[in-house]
A and B are shown apart, each in its own frame.
Chain A
Amino acid sequence: MSLISTLARLEAVESGRAQPLATVRHRHLSPRPLVFVPLTTAGEAGAPLGALVGTDRESPRLLAVAQPRDRELRFAFLAELAETLLPYLDGYADDVEPAERNETDPETGKRVKVEVELCADAPQLIVPSRPGVDFVRLLGRSMRFRRTAEQDPDSPYPAPPRVPLLGRWLTHYGERARVPGSSLLLAMTDLLGRHWATGQSHLEDKHLGALLAWIAPPEGASGAEAALRAEVERDRGGQLVCPPAGPATDPAFDNKLLAPAMELYDRARQALAAAEDGAAADEQLARLTSAEREIRALLRGVLRPTWDAVWDGIDLVRELPEGPHVADRWTRDRWSFTGHRDRVRAGEPPQPRRDDAVSAAQKLAARETAQAQLEAQEALDDPLVLAGRRLAGEAFVGVVTDVVMAWSESKRPSPRPLLTVRTDDGPHLGVGVKAYRSLDGKPQCAEFVRYEEDGAIVLRLLDRMGRSRDPAEGSVPEAGESVAWTLFEHEQRGGPKLPEPEDTPWTHGGPPRTDAAESADAVTPEDLL
């Protein structure tokens, strides 16, 4: 954390309100995002308890599992989730625009441009917090290797038809969320924390209710008071007024409300199974239905505040103007969505449990590039982020006081003007250090030459001045102009090329095995522990 954001936190403590960390929005927000607020059963892995999901703030769809240890009910939940999510995802798959992609021609080995489809927009999922992102990944992992009755007629517990497909999509979204700056799957706490500094620590910022309380405290209250209330205030029954944003539930809710309701449900189910005649069965069925309704009402009660909080967060973030480079990063997200759509359509198998060496290295390299790119783009988009880099000596803003024309010493001399820049910033400059500025959205490079006696910096411009002997109009700053320079590059180059997966050296496990397809997870007949 830079000193500037520390200062913002201290100001927030003093003023009782969160302070801005950004002047523009650094993440893409879809005009129609899908909000997904999941809950999980304590102690069980990947056993969903309920969820609110939908694209309309006013009418969320409640999915609930009355008894999470019952496989049938869990499958019913997942099937319903697939019915809700997949149409949303599919809705973006067919609206395409033509695009070009560089590919290696398998015959000649040359790089050629190929005409491909690119989805015009991509679906965006928003969850309340980072554990929610992990839960999406876990749900994806738990579903993608399941077998449906159609895929495997011998499967003892076949999954509903579209569940494995949803698992693949959720896995893709979960993986994409690990790429810095991507916006396909966003956690609201991350989104808010990127744009505001609260008067509490990062750890406390993980609580969505408390974070929102700092950013938009209720009338007459300070952010600190409101955040404390969000954290600890309980009603008469001992229940949190602001339930945790999930997926974990509050133990008091589990013990006092949910467990008794589930017991009623279990008993009603047993009674229904034991009912001897039609009249008794009808009566027990009514009891079962009311017990189920009770559980649904309880879940809705703890999900709804979080649902509303996520939409409040969306409204807050939407008010900020979008940063100029956000669209560029969103295009990458669209490529990612299109790529996975193509893999699904081509009938490729689900993502493997573990990546092979080459894919893993590629993923890591891509994330590193994305991180560097994100940092550069945010600084270019936002003077407040740039201020942090200036403080760290990685950028400087200065006024050009003098321009002296000079030329390179080649046969066809090119312009290499010398600029004298006066700045109060303290950039880390040395011989041969390059500085970059943005010229019509493209980086222009300069080289540090020397310090003048009065501390002014002399730079030599190196490129983007056209082919002729005299620099093109507007390509050289004029005296009196104020220019922002960065010492980091604006665009990132990828690393060295990795070998094809088939050429993986033995030191890295050798080529991936193609004969062994990923098998489904082992299932045990008993489902109740």
Chain B
Amino acid sequence: MSTSLDSGPLPQAPATALRQRLAELRGPSAAPHPLDARALAALAANPGCKRRALLDGAGVDKAALARALGSPATFGQSQFAFMRGNAFEARVKADGGTELLRLLGVADPHGAVVPDLTAAGPEGRAARTALALREATGAGAWTLLDHPMLALEVAGSPAYLEPDAVVVHPDGRWTVVEIKSFPMVDGSADASKVGAAARQAAVYVLALERVAALTKDASVDHSVLLVCPKDFSNLPTASAVDVRKQLSVTRRQLARLTRVEEIASALPDGVCFDVESCSSGELASAVESVPSTYAPECLSACELAFHCRERARTAGAVESLGRAVRGELGGLTGVAEVLSAARGEWGDPADPTVAALRRAARLRAEALGAGALGTQAPGTAAREDAVAGRGTA
């Protein structure tokens, strides 16, 4: 399996200088915010955003930052959903995980080993998990690891991840199990939720691969087991989800994240994201000093999205209308710029984008009975007379 680790050897000694720099950015008293499922989703949703990369890499609590900036994020979880999620997971794992193992196709689920993984602190738990994985692989028996702890190097500092379960097959294969409480109705579930679960599971697979690389005869399954309630009941059903695509995306993104060093070094001196000690004005200018790439998709993935949207709108950037709009308008990036180009007040008529805009503006004005765009491009009035009164139906 170690051959698939194309991201190079493990970073043995994380750059202490970078770690110190990131700690300074985060603020001396703040503990690094763990890379949670939402941060991972954001990773895939908007890879080009330096602001998010830096803040996530430094472990800044973006929700607190957004609150301090006056544009709080609207994420939250209903306690009903939370309770249901926990209750379903407990049900799936009840009785030594026999139900779960049966879903995996284990003939004798009662014979499986369920090692105790308790240890002090995340480092201890991660070490205990690695040991249990090695033992289980060597033993060649079905083993269920309930809430193992995995470590993954993210931007020079370890992030600790806790999958719902990992199952070790007798042949040394490791399978990540993701338990979700959204239903699988007639064998299919909500695609966006499955996608999010797959992205999350891909990170676990990635973290497991680091352990597998150091373990003899071990390999990590590239399809994970997604366990969901069946139809409208609380009975579990499962489906294997291939996460190879998400895996390569996440691997690439995490490799890029290590470049936060470059982003950090480009910052002016004295920039700090410490919510405790900085005023909101200082925070705003600190955030402003890191370039962002806002897209409306950020709204469902990033805590800072409302802040970035506000900035994009104030600046009159066309991105705030969507990525597709940005792509359609070529080199024109400002709302005012595009509109004045469309009206013929500005821009080079030989530029194909400007020419297309003028044509579009003319056709639109003509269809709306003229005057919708205010000033008309010169020379269109006569043409409109020529085609006035045409029948279209």
Contact = CB atoms under 8 A, between A and B. Distances in A.
B259 interface: no
B299 A203 contact: yes
Nearest to A353: B186
B376 to A, nearest CB: 14
B281 to A, nearest CB: 21
B236 to A, nearest CB: 11
A20 interface: yes
A30 to B, nearest CB: 23
Interface size class of A (residues with CB under 8 A): 35 or more
Name which of B72, B296, B325, B339 has the most chain A CB atoms within 10 A of its CB: B325
Given A1-B328, A202-B322, A521-B231, A259 B79 contact: yes
Contact of B361 (A7, A202, A386, A529): A7
B74 A232 contact: yes
Given A4-B363, A383-B367, A254 B339 contact: no
A42 interface: yes
A120 to B, nearest CB: 25
A277 to B, nearest CB: 35
B318 to A, nearest CB: 7
A204 B366 CA distance: 29
A251 B320 contact: no
Contact of A44 (B84, B306, B335): B84
B98 interface: no
A524 B299 contact: no
A255 B383 contact: no
Interface string B75-113: 011111111110110010000000000000000000000
Name which of B80, B91, B181, B386 has the most chain A CB atoms within 10 A of its CB: B80
Contact of B91 (A1, A382, A522, A529): A529
Contacts of B68: none
Interface stretch (B165-173, B246-254, B352-360): B352-360
Contacts of A380: 392-393
Nearest to B364: A4
Given A41-B80, A249-B78, A255-B79, A529 B360 contact: no
Contacts of B321: 6, 9-10, 13, 199-201
B364 A204 contact: no
A14 interface: yes
Interface in A15-36: 19-20, 23
Nearest to B85: A43
A224 B235 contact: no
Interface string A363-399: 0000000000000000011111011101100000111
Contacts of B387: 397-399, 482
Contacts of B320: 200-201
B264 interface: no
Contacts of B329: 6
A138 interface: yes
Nearest to B234: A529
Contacts of B359: 391
Interface string A398-435: 11000000000000000000000000100000000000
B17 interface: no
Interface in A173-202: 199-202
A200 B359 CA distance: 23
Contacts of A391: 356, 359-360, 363
Contacts of B84: 42-44, 529
A387 B296 contact: no
Contacts of A138: 185
Contacts of A387: 363-364, 366-367
A499 interface: no
B235 A7 contact: no
A3 interface: yes
B306 to A, nearest CB: 7
A365 B367 CA distance: 33
Contacts of B300: 203
Interface string A483-500: 110000000000000000
A3 B297 contact: no
Interface residues of B, number: 68
A438 B391 contact: yes
Nearest to A377: B393
A45 interface: yes
A513 interface: no
Nearest to A45: B183
A271 interface: no
Given A3-B360, A8-B364, A482-B387, A324 B78 contact: no
Interface string A32-74: 0000000001111110000000000000000000000000000
Contacts of A424: 383
B13 interface: no
Contact of B322 (A8, A13, A201, A524): A201
B12 interface: no
A522 B234 CA distance: 10
A521 B232 contact: yes
B357 A7 contact: yes
Interface string B23-46: 000000000000000000000000
A398 B387 CA distance: 7
A95 to B, nearest CB: 29
A45 B80 contact: no
A387 B360 CA distance: 8
A252 interface: yes
A508 interface: no
A256 B363 CA distance: 52
B59 interface: no
Contacts of A231: 74
Contact of A251 (B77, B306, B335, B366): B77
A367 to B, nearest CB: 18
B335 A14 contact: yes
Given A43-B80, A391-B359, A529-B88, A14 B367 contact: no
B335 to A, nearest CB: 5
A360 B366 CA distance: 43
B235 A203 contact: no
Interface in B207-233: 229-233
Contacts of B325: 1, 6, 9, 201
29 contacts: A1-B324, A4-B360, A7-B360, A9-B325, A10-B339, A11-B372, A13-B321, A14-B335, A45-B229, A203-B322, A232-B306, A255-B76, A380-B392, A383-B366, A384-B368, A386-B392, A387-B363, A387-B364, A387-B366, A387-B367, A390-B363, A397-B387, A397-B390, A398-B387, A482-B386, A482-B389, A483-B390, A524-B233, A524-B234
Given A380-B392, A388-B363, A529-B91, 16 more contacts: A6-B360, A7-B338, A13-B316, A20-B368, A42-B80, A200-B296, A201-B296, A201-B321, A202-B322, A203-B296, A232-B74, A251-B79, A380-B393, A383-B367, A391-B359, A482-B390
What 4 pairs between A and B have smallest CB-CB spacing?
Answer: A43-B81, A45-B183, A42-B78, A251-B76
